[in-house]
Chains A and B, each alone.
Chain A
Amino acid sequence: MPSEPSEPIRLRRLPRAWRLTATAAVLGVLATAQFVDTNDWFPFGSLSQYATARDLNGTVKSISIEAVNASGETLRVPLNQTGVGVGRAEIEGQLGRILADPALLQSIADAHAGLHPDEPAYTELTVVRSTRALVDGRPSGEPTHEALATWTVQP
């Protein structure tokens, strides 16, 4: 039996006050975060995905990691949730930190070993940056690849 609609169930003074206060506070934080431009205030930080303007005559860069494994094969490390758990954007987000201390790449090898114990282990990891130029907003020429850091995996 559905209950009959009647007079609305009102909020009392205090429950109403804390809700409106919390609302104002969160909206204030979220609005400020857009101008301060910080992701640090997650979940109320800047909504910055794809918010950077890209130069029509600039370059498009992309990071990947190449691995040599115990069988001697060279392969591309699957930078995603099921591959090594860490995504490409997460590597790019702390690239400076990784280049300053390539030992952090050990984590990638450890994650691979932990998540895929039956696959041949990685023995060497190389961070590679591919760069392609834009001319008037159109891709131009072939991409170039450069190795930025290499780490010999500790067993």
Chain B
Amino acid sequence: MTASPPEQPAPTVGADDTRPATWRRALGAVGRWWTSPVPLARVAVLRLVIYLFVIFDVLTLTNDVIPHGYAPDLYQPTLIGRILPFPTPSPGVGWLLLVTIIAGSLVAASGLLPRIAGGVVAVAYLAWMVNSQGFAYVSHDHLALIVATLVLPTVGRARFTDLRASEAGGWALRAIQVATVATYVGSAVNKVARTGSPWAWANGAVFTWAIMRRGSDVITWTLEYPWLLRLSQWGLLVAEVLSPAVFWLRGKWLALAIGFFLVFHLATYVSLGIHFLPTVVCWAAFAPLERLVPPVQRAWRRITRRQPDPGPATAGA
């Protein structure tokens, strides 16, 4: 399934052939949406954010990989862990992956060797995640971040000051955006598919269940008000279903919609200890990040200028 290239002249068609032409036009529009050009500087800033976050992730959020190495009998790898030659968990393998991911991420974040360093991180991070998620529990907050590590290396060179628009950069950012939104809308689809009805989940007791199992002191009072929790379940399900609306929103409305999801994640973190930070960071793919570069450059110039002039004695050294 590929889009027809826009430069190809439209074939001369009779009245009978309008349907295929409509199809081609629609596919072309979909292809253009998926590759809407973005400034390369935006890719450079997002790349910095994503790779620094990957380092934070392996050190603090998915830091169970090295400890998992002490319990290899409980390893139940998912499909790609069984078909790809990823190593069996052991502390040594965990340390090797950790060092590889951190070193690769530092290089990739700087913009040097974007394809090689990014490719190494993509493979090592996938191996890391297959281990972290390979012990009979799969969380779903890493979808967009894993997609980000897979697509960012495909952009190639992108400087922090390069404001030229790029379709390759556009596709990478679009893929991260769609993966971010898919995390919400897909989970709504799964709730409906799993329960077999659009309302069974929201009318059930899932928040009660979650709060009883892992609720913090700030949230346990709500257990006495099941109607409030049911209302919140409806609110979450509606927000998840409507999440693709962010692709039609602009400016402050887009910021407001993203802000809603960030507040939701803050609330689940405070009440249940579930933060979804790997998804939160990927919302950055919606922001005009290249605008951060000039202020940082100005601040940098001010700092470097303020440094004391070397005295005449050292000037000639």
Which positions in A face B, CB cutoff 8 Å? 1-6, 8-11, 13, 15-17, 19-21, 23-24, 26-27, 30-31, 34-35, 37, 39-56, 58, 60, 62, 81-82, 84-87, 89-94, 97, 104, 106-108, 110-111, 114-115, 132, 134, 136-139
Complex interface: chain A residues within 8 A of B224 (CB):
138
Complex interface: chain B residues within 8 A of A5 (CB):
39, 163-165
Complex interface: chain B residues within 8 A of A40 (CB):
78-79
Complex interface: chain A residues within 8 A of B288 (CB):
none
Given A54-B205, A60-B208, A107-B73, verify A85-B137 contact (CB < 8 Å). no
Binds A, one of B14-22, B47-55, B64-72: B64-72
User: Are A11 and B71 in touch, CB under 8 angstroms?
Assistant: no
**Number of chain B interface residues as a range:** 35 or more
Complex interface: chain B residues within 8 A of A21 (CB):
1-2
Least Cβ distance of A119 to chain B in Å?
14
Q: A5 to B163: give the CA distance in the assembly, Å.
A: 5
Complex interface: chain B residues within 8 A of A26 (CB):
147
Least Cβ distance of A2 to chain B in Å?
5
- For the complex, is B140 an interface residue (Cβ under 8 Å from A)? yes
User: Are B190 and A107 in touch, CB under 8 angstroms?
Assistant: no
User: Are A2 and B186 in touch, CB under 8 angstroms?
Assistant: no
Q: A132 to B67: give the CA distance in the assembly, Å.
A: 31
Given A3-B161, A4-B163, verify A19-B35 contact (CB < 8 Å). yes
User: Are A53 and B206 in touch, CB under 8 angstroms?
Assistant: yes
Return the chain A residue nearest B139 by Cβ: A49
User: Are A8 and B166 in touch, CB under 8 angstroms?
Assistant: yes
Given A5-B163, A45-B138, A132-B212, verify A137-B205 contact (CB < 8 Å). yes
Complex interface: chain A residues within 8 A of B72 (CB):
107
Least Cβ distance of B206 to chain A in Å?
5
Q: A27 to B244: give the CA distance in the assembly, Å.
A: 14
Complex interface: chain A residues within 8 A of B189 (CB):
31, 34-35, 47
- For the complex, is B162 an interface residue (Cβ under 8 Å from A)? yes
Q: A13 to B68: give the CA distance in the assembly, Å.
A: 44
Given A54-B205, A136-B226, verify A42-B80 contact (CB < 8 Å). yes
Least Cβ distance of B288 to chain A in Å?
13
Return the chain A residue nearest B5 by Cβ: A13
User: Are B130 and A111 in touch, CB under 8 angstroms?
Assistant: no
User: Are A93 and B78 in touch, CB under 8 angstroms?
Assistant: no
Q: Can you name 21 A-B residue pairings with CB atoms under 8 Å?
A: A2-B163, A9-B168, A11-B171, A27-B178, A30-B186, A37-B194, A42-B80, A47-B183, A48-B140, A49-B187, A51-B191, A53-B191, A58-B205, A86-B71, A87-B135, A89-B137, A111-B70, A114-B91, A137-B230, A138-B208, A138-B226
User: Are A42 and B138 in touch, CB under 8 angstroms?
Assistant: yes
User: Are A51 and B201 in touch, CB under 8 angstroms?
Assistant: yes
Complex interface: chain A residues within 8 A of B2 (CB):
16-17, 20-21
Complex interface: chain A residues within 8 A of B76 (CB):
93-94, 97
Return the chain B residue nearest A1 by Cβ: B161
Complex interface: chain B residues within 8 A of A19 (CB):
34-35, 154, 171
Q: A44 to B5: give the CA distance in the assembly, Å.
A: 29
Complex interface: chain A residues within 8 A of B206 (CB):
50, 52-54
Complex interface: chain B residues within 8 A of A60 (CB):
208-209, 212-213
Return the chain A residue nearest B167 by Cβ: A11
Given A48-B190, A51-B191, A52-B194, verify A9-B165 contact (CB < 8 Å). yes
Q: A12 to B129: give the CA distance in the assembly, Å.
A: 33
Complex interface: chain A residues within 8 A of B73 (CB):
104, 106-107
Q: A13-B5, A46-B140, A138-B224 are in contact. List 15 more A-B contacts (CB 8 A).
A: A1-B161, A4-B163, A5-B39, A17-B2, A21-B1, A30-B182, A54-B209, A85-B68, A93-B76, A93-B135, A94-B136, A137-B208, A138-B208, A139-B212, A139-B223
User: Are B67 and A84 in touch, CB under 8 angstroms?
Assistant: yes
User: Are A9 and B78 in touch, CB under 8 angstroms?
Assistant: no
The contact string, 1 if C-beta is below 8 Å from chain A, for chain B 209-235, is 110110000000001101001100000
Return the chain A residue nearest B209 by Cβ: A54
- For the complex, is B3 an interface residue (Cβ under 8 Å from A)? yes
